[in-house]
Amino acid sequence: MSEILIQNGRLIDPRQGIDRPASLLLRDGKVVGIDTPPSRERATIINAQGMIVAPGLIDMHVQLREPGFEEDETIESGTAAALAGGFTSLACLPDTDPPLDSQAGVEFVQHQAVRADNCHVFVLACVSKNRDGEQLAELGTLCNAGAVGFTDAMAPIHSAELMRRALEYSQMFNRPILNHPEVVDLTRNGIMHEGLVSTILGLASLPAEAEDVMTGRDLRLAEATGGRLHLLNISSGGSVELIRRAKNRGVRITAGVCAHHFSLTDEALRTFDTNCKVNPPLRSSDHVGQVILGLQDNTLDVICSGHAPRPTEKKMQELDQAPFGMVGLETVLGLVGAKLIATNLLCWTQAIEKMSANPAAILGQTAKGHLSAGADADVTVFDPQARWSVDPARFRSKSSNSPLAGWELQGRVEFTIVSGRIKYRRQQAS
């Protein structure tokens, strides 16, 4: 491989505490060093003037939908969308058909990711066999196959006994258990957040208490077992406070929030746009405020996309019939820039930590999430001031189910470098 020298940019590496103008040298798929001159005459030069040079972004919450739902997304199209969004790695959920509860399933996804040759794909395998919440999957076999963590995706682990055993058993492999906190008895047939807007619209609700109750249960089990717990999709102010208290007690807990949960509120459902139907639902402004406070004080560790692709024919149904989910890989960075950075709620160092360093640590990827010498040469270069308009028709994802059409976002990816190779260049993609 040839060398790549990225110069004149603002280099931000939260792991090393770096935020300053600097050059970065990459060689043979690894970081050589900061402010290190190239040793080869034919080094590729990237002029990052006015741009931020960051460790490659990592998305911990992506539905790739293959195998079984290729009409929604494929591994090839999903990883291409990730590159356009600045993500050099992603962790895919096991909500496929069949679910990723076997060694063969994990290896299939890995093989397809290698064939696609876009970004790195880490597999989150099932906690329970067939994602039915009854029997514990063969966690050891799945770990040996390369699974980086265990989750039943959007199917909450309803059995406290199964959750406890999973937290205990997973400690043997130092892998986290990831759960979507929801008590389904409280949300059955629900469409949107329970509040004033749902009452006005007459729509069945998904109360915040359904999230809070499951969050509380999982935190207590993590505390009792000492297991590693990561909570997906935090959207409730009550859950944020429960997590904050648990962290103060030393519980091994991390938590993530999807970008749409700090960017939109339940008011968006007044349009009856099915692209706004997500689970957990878009909540009221007071919950959004608490989520943002959780990001500011590091109660919430990760910002992710919650990428849930669904084709137009599935979304073009009545609101109660349409599936949950919206795409997000290609808009996360712009939402962070527009909703958190431009409003001075976070700085770029904090945001990059939650989109790169923290996900890498949670997933056990010690060579990613930083730009130290010897680290993997996964780098995201973006213009933090660039404003651009969302056009879902131009997404690289196979699906375009986003309610953000026409939104002006801030922060645009210019280069995505994976293992020392430029895999996305905006000027060539546009």
Are the beta carbons of 343 and 296 closer than 8 angstroms? no
HSE of 394, CA atoms in CB hemisphere, 13 A: 13
- Burial class of residue 20, CB neighbours in 10 A (0-12, 13-18, 19+): exposed
At residue 379, the pLDDT reads 98
Kindly state which CATH superfamily the domain 4-52+376-429 is placed in. Urease, subunit C, domain 1 (2.30.40.10)
At residue 429, the pLDDT reads 65
At residue 254, the pLDDT reads 98
Are the beta carbons of 101 and 94 closer than 8 angstroms? yes
Tell me the CATH class for 57-362. Answer: alpha beta
At residue 88, the pLDDT reads 98
Helices (H) and strands (E) in the chain, counts: 13, 18
The pair of three-digit structure tokens given for residue 111, joined into one six-digit string: 């093989």
According to DSSP, the residues that pair with 267 across neighbouring strands are none
At residue 215, the pLDDT reads 98
Please report, for the chain, the start and end positions of each structural domain, with discontinuous segments joined by +: 4-52+376-429, 57-362
What's the predicted TM-score (pTM) here? 0.97
pLDDT in tens, the chain (430 residues): 689 999 999 999 999 999 999 999 999 999 999 999 888 678 899 999 999 999 999 999 999 999 999 999 999 999 999 999 999 999 999 999 999 999 999 999 999 999 999 999 999 999 999 999 999 999 999 999 999 999 999 999 999 999 999 999 999 999 999 999 999 999 999 999 999 999 999 999 999 999 999 999 999 999 999 999 999 999 999 999 999 999 999 999 999 999 999 999 999 999 999 999 999 999 999 999 999 999 999 999 999 999 999 999 999 999 999 999 999 999 999 999 999 999 999 999 999 999 999 999 999 999 999 999 999 999 999 999 999 999 999 999 999 999 999 999 999 999 999 999 999 999 876 5
